[in-house]
Amino acid sequence: MMDLTAPSTADPRRYALGYAHRRARVFWFWWMGMVFALPGIAQAAALAATGQNPENGLVLAGLGLGISGAGWLIAIGPRFTRKSPQPADDVARAEQYIRIIPGVAVASVLAMFVIVAVLMFATPRGTSPEVLPVLAFLASFPIPVVVGMLYSRHLHRHRGRLYSAWLGRG
């Protein structure tokens, strides 16, 4: 009888993709906190630069760091497991993800900068010291999201090499 939990030598690509999915999930568990912490730092810096109390930005940064730490702890099992990954069949979706993410990343950052520029120049108080920290938060928000998407793309794009290296550590 064949052991279905062991990696198949017939199609290791399915296991490599499953391994990439697992690595991406583990990454996003802790990185989601950074999606809030980094814009919080930008907001705190803008608040301090405009002579305001940076507390709101620092609270958001602390909350993001707390979420990040909790995510790291929650994902500790899959992070250090030696269990074979679940085989994945969504190769076409992964290839589409690899192909479109660079464009999505550039478009996301540019769209947010356009929105921030419109808010700065089209609203009556767009460049006032009270509004600039909010705009700094908005302008910086897509950056950690894009970094996470690009890293996830890297994991999926190099899944064969990464999976082979993981198997070699066994």
- pLDDT tier, 1 (very low <50, low <70, confident <90, very high otherwise): very low
Q: For residue 122, tell me if it sits in a domain.
A: yes
In a domain, 169, yes or no: no
Rg (CA), the chain: 21
- Model-wide pTM > 0.85: yes
Tell whether the model's pLDDT for residue 36 goes beyond 60.
yes
**Summary mean pLDDT of the chain:** 93
Structural domain including 112 reads 13-161
Displacement of CA 62 from its chain's centroid (Å):
18
Instruction: State the average pLDDT over residues 40-64.
Output: 97
Average pLDDT over residues 5-29: 85
CA distance 129 to 50: 6
Structurally, the chain folds into a number of domains equal to 1
Please report, rounded to a whole number, the percentage of residues in the chain having pLDDT higher than 70.
94
Instruction: Please check whether residue 4 lies inside any domain of the structure.
Output: no
- Any domain includes 109: yes
Q: Kindly report the number of other CB atoms within 10 A of residue 122's CB atom.
A: 8
Is residue 111 a part of any domain in this protein?
A: yes
For residue range 105-149, list pLDDT tens digits in order. Answer: 999 999 999 999 999 999 888 889 999 999 999 999 999 999 999
CA distance 127 to 39: 18
Q: How far is residue 65 from each of residues 2, 39, 137, measured CA to CA in Å?
A: 45, 12, 16
